[in-house]
């Protein structure tokens, strides 16, 4: 006698509860009633003869068996999604719906240069875009909550394909009244014991600025960390110190009347590299590789003086 198999819907409900930590939140997210969701998860548990969740007043948590099966369920649902997207591509041309995550220090200043061309090139491509700190994005990618991550390097996981896209200069920003603003050229020695403002520690950009300050002998301000790149810019305007800011941000947000002078360290240029990242087992990996090449080509054409594509 053939054993009954779980339905795709039951697996999707299982994943929704696991991700939400709550039957109510999962039901809201899926747009179904909570009794319907609860009944389907119970049916899945009965079918498998296991207990997937532990329920208590504190909330809903995965039971040990649920934790063991979670990755398998994600892989099955992802493969089905990939199958549907492949059929879509055959019928309508390359495209599909993907969840793209990026960092707040990159996405808002890069995506406006990319998305119009991508939309013209892939009429059936849909990107749901989320922002977050890079460590959270890496976890979300590993857990299947995101399909793609556009973020600074480095990343270190054998489960990911990390495809470098481009290098972005990092500029030094000083107040126009500071003595450094009057120097025709700034060298590394000029920043010895200088006060450098930076973003909060959960951002990858903090790590780069921290390492740079150690090399230069500059003082990294830990008492006044910015919650965003905008916050850093405002603190420099207030004369609280200097800041290193990514070139894409500078190009977008710093203008002539800003009371700021944008410069570079002549004898130690600072850059950061960015990559498009996906799970090595993703069923859409061939399309993602093609997409990475498209992004490089678009950036080389649109921002030839600001960024350097990595071939």
pLDDT in tens, 57-96: 777 888 888 888 888 888 888 778 777 766 766 565 566 7
pLDDT tens digits for range 171-198: 999 999 999 999 989 999 999 999 999 9
Mean pLDDT, residues 219-235 taken together: 87
Question: Rounded distance, CA 255 to CA 18, Å?
Answer: 46
Q: What predicted TM-score, i.e. pTM, was given to this entire model? A: 0.73
Confidence check: pLDDT of 222 > 60: yes
Q: Report the alpha-carbon distance of residue 77 to residue 86 in Å, rounded.
A: 14
Residues with Cβ within 8 Å of residue 51, at least 6 apart in sequence: 45, 63, 65, 66
Q: Is the confidence at residue 111, as pLDDT, over 90? A: yes
Q: Does residue 284 carry a pLDDT above 90?
A: no
For the chain, give percent helix, strand, coil, nearest 5: 45, 25, 30
C-alpha of 58 from chain center: 30
Domains of the chain plus CATH, in order, are: 8-72 (1.10.10.10), 74-166+273-309 (3.40.190.10), 169-271 (3.40.190.10)
CA nearest 199: which of 223, 225, 220?
225
Tokens 């050229």 correspond to 185
Q: Are 101 and 131 in contact (CB under 8 A)?
A: yes
């Amino acid at each position: 006698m053939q054993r009954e198999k779980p339905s795709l819907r039951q697996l999707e409900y299982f994943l929704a509860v696991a991700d939400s930590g709550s039957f109510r939140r999962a039901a809201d997210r899926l747009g179904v009633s909570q009794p319907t969701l609860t009944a389907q998860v119970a049916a899945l548990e009965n079918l498998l003869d296991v207990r997937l969740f532990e329920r208590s007043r504190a909330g809903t948590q995965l039971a040990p068996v649920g934790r063991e099966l979670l990755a398998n369920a994600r892989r099955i649902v992802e493969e089905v999604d990939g199958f549907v997207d492949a059929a879509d591509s055959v019928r309508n041309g390359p495209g599909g719906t993907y969840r793209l995550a990026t960092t707040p220090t990159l996405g808002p200043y890069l995506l406006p240069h990319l998305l119009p061309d991508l939309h013209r090139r892939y009429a059936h491509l849909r990107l749901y875009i989320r922002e977050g700190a890079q460590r959270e994005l890496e976890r979300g990618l590993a857990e299947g909550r995101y399909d793609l991550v556009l973020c600074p390097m480095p990343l270190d996981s054998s489960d990911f394909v990390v495809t470098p896209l481009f290098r972005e200069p990092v500029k030094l920003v000083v107040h126009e009244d500071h003595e450094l603003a009057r120097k025709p050229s700034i060298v590394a020695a000029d920043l010895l014991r200088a006060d450098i403002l930076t973003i909060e520690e959960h951002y990858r950009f903090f790590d780069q600025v921290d390492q740079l300050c150690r090399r230069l002998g500059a003082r990294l301000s830990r008492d006044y960390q910015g919650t965003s790149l905008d916050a850093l810019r405002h603190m420099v305007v207030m004369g609280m110190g200097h800041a290193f800011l990514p070139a894409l941000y500078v190009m977008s947000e710093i203008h002539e009347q800003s009371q700021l002078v944008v410069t570079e360290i002549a004898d130690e240029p600072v850059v950061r590299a960015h990559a498009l990242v996906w799970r090595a087992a993703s069923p859409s990996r061939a399309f993602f590789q093609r997409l990475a090449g498209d992004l490089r080509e678009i950036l080389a054409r649109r921002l030839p003086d600001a960024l350097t594509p990595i071939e």
